[in-house]
Amino acid sequence: MGKQAKTAIEPTREENYPEWYQEVIKASDMAEISPVRGCMVIKPWGYALWENISRVLDDMFKATGVKNAYFPLFIPINFLEKEAEHVEGFAKECAVVTHHKLEQDESGRLVPAGKLTEPLIVRPTSETIIGDSFSKWINSYRDLPVLINQWANVVRWEMRTRIFLRTSEFLWQEGHTVHATKEEAEERTQMMLDVYKKMAEEYLAIPVITGEKSESEKFPGAETTTCIEAMMQDRKALQAGTSHFLGQNFAKASDIKFQSDKEIEEYGWTTSWGVSTRLIGGLIMTHGDDNGVILPPRVASSHVVLIPIIRKDKDKQMVMDYTNELAARLRNTAYYGYPIRVEIDDRDIGGAKNWEWIKKGSPLRVEIGPKDIASDSVFVGRRDKEPRDKSAINKDTFVDEVGNMLDEIQNTLFQKALAYREKHTRNIDDKNEFDAFFTPENKERPKIHGGFAVSHWCGDAACEKQIKERLNVTVRCIPYDQENEDGECIECGKASKKRVIFAKAY
């Protein structure tokens, strides 16, 4: 056997997947750990990715009639107390503000002072504070529907954190709507889930399964929680987005009422829905390889990086003129509704530049040197191919074909991820086979378990709890895309009409 090629990221996915994930983030310069425990600093390359995701989602939301607003970071504690199931679900994660100023003690240290008469919660989610505003805005059926979204940060005091996937503070959007009828609210819940599916599959190139959460996994206070679930390369599930039908629970808690067209006072029907910077973690774990992250072109921080190759001072002006002219042409070219995003890396650091951009996941790397200029061509490497797989392309041809090349990369990433999920998804009806599917193959390196088990479940929370305690496996969703089918619960053997997705999860 030949010597195995050295990879840019160590350890590899095979050797230690969790550590590989952390090293990929570090190598791509996307984010870093903050001095504040459990929080992160999102650096420009990572934040540009979030900006692109946000921009696309914002356009999708507005196309459905949603408008943006902003609500306070702080929530009076009595607001959470109004909805018992909601406060119970978030109580252990709340950050609480109890004082409003600092004073110096005798030793000169700063200590909290000015105790608040009522503590304030740093928002873990905003149903209650937004509900208070809705109760003032809505009087008549003519005021409905109210369709609001906010881009914000939230705080959930996590004990075990991981950059992008689970941090004490993270960025997200949260949509909140009020409707006159149950049917309208349920329709909006599904509409927004479809928006999230479109974002995941068409922009992030992440195949997802849509469905409903089980009772134990749904959002606190919701009637129904719907979700998109994706498989990562360690075969764990990632809940990538949720859309909740809240019924009238929060409307009653916040006194959101309206006069119907029959002049009857009724409570509104509400929804909420959200995705977060967790999507970036999902993107990394779905598409990354042992050389770093691979960014899907439709949301990539940059589409093309131009790398001038200058070995002699006399060539510098010529190479830079050629590079800048190409950059201008590319930036005047549209891709998926937005101008091509171009980086020029003219740093004098030799061949290290190429590997930096491989690790950062830029879809296309373009080298430009005197020989290329002489033939009016560029030397192009695609991130979805091997690092040394590069080819010379006529400059004009490259400008004309750049959109097609980016789409080829986008489609390749999606099809590869879909094939991986299908390979590691299995219908299982035998309990022993089910347990073996979720047992690591190597106890010394508990790297791999089966993936997604599609099995019957009777719907009893006791069975779900037993499976979770035994295998650390949960019902990820009850998929929409399935027919009723007679079977037996994988845990207790009772009659079941549907299969569900069981998996280990982040």
Do the two domains 304-418 and 425-503 of this chain adopt the same fold?
no
pLDDT band at 441 (very low <50, low <70, confident <90, very high): low
Is the pLDDT score of 333 beyond 80?
A: yes
pLDDT at 7 over 80: yes
Q: Average pLDDT for residues 450-454, to the nearest whole number?
A: 96
Give the pLDDT score at 155.
Answer: 96
The confidence score (pLDDT) of residue 91 equals: 86
Mean pLDDT of 359-377: 97
Q: Is residue 446's pLDDT more than 60?
A: no
Domain ranges across the chain: 17-78+123-287, 304-418, 425-503
Determine if residue 461 is left, alpha or beta; phi over 0 gives left, psi from -120 to 50 gives alpha, anything else beta: alpha
Asked whether residue 442 carries a pLDDT value surpassing 90, the answer given is no
Q: Is the pLDDT of residue 348 over 50?
A: yes
Average the pLDDT over each of 53-57, 289-293, 387-391 and give the range with the smallest value: 387-391
Residue 192 has a pLDDT of: 98
Q: Residue 28: which pLDDT band, with cuts at 50, 70 and 90?
A: very high
CB of 249 within 8 A of CB of 84? Answer: no
Residue 262, pLDDT score: 95
- The predicted-structure confidence for 147-162, as pLDDT tens digits, reads as follows 999 999 999 998 889 9
Residue 3 predicted with pLDDT over 90? no
**Torsion on CA atoms 265, 267, 268, 271, rounded to nearest 10:** 180
Coil, strand, or helix at residue 313? helix
Mean pLDDT lowest among 214-228, 340-354, 404-418? 340-354
State yes or no: pLDDT of 2 exceeds 60. no
Please determine, for residue 493, whether its predicted confidence score (pLDDT) is greater than 50. Answer: yes
Q: Average of pLDDT values for 57-61?
A: 98
Helices first, then strands: H and E counts in the chain = 14, 27
Q: If pLDDT is split at 50, 70 and 90, which confidence band does 443 have?
A: low
**With bands split at pLDDT 50, 70 and 90, how would you rate the model's confidence at 5?**
low
Residue 445: pLDDT band (50, 70, 90) is very low
Q: How far apart are CA 97 and CA 180, in angstroms?
A: 36
For 17-78+123-287, CATH gives: 3.30.930.10
Q: What is the pLDDT of residues 128-186, one digit of tens each?
A: 999 999 999 999 999 999 999 999 999 999 888 999 999 999 999 999 999 999 999 99
**Mean pLDDT, the chain, whole residue set:** 95
Tokens 């979204």 identify what position? 149
- Asked if the model's pLDDT at residue 56 lies above 80, the reply is yes
Kind and range of the H or E run holding 390: strand 390-394
Beta-carbon contacts of residue 345 (< 8 Å; ≥ 6 apart)? 305, 306, 307, 308, 353, 356, 357
CA distance 362 to 355: 11
Indicate whether 350 pLDDT > 80: no
* Dihedral angle, C-alpha 433, 439, 443, 447, nearest 10 °: 120
Please state whether beta strands 338-339 and 269-276 pair in parallel, antiparallel, or not at all (unpaired): unpaired
Residue 97: φ, ψ to 5°: -95, 125
Q: Is domain 425-503 classified as CATH 3.40.50.300?
A: no
Architecture of the domain made up of 304-418? 3-Layer(aba) Sandwich (3.40)
Q: Cα–Cα distance between 459 and 12 in angstroms, integer?
A: 39
Three-state DSSP at 75 gives strand
Q: What is the pLDDT of residue 83?
A: 75
Q: What does pTM read for this prediction? A: 0.95
Dist CA 292 CA 300 (whole Å): 14
> What is the pLDDT confidence band of residue 85, given thresholds at 50, 70 and 90?
confident
Checking if the pLDDT of 434 tops 80, the result is yes
Interval 226-240 mean pLDDT: 98
Position 159 scores a pLDDT of 84
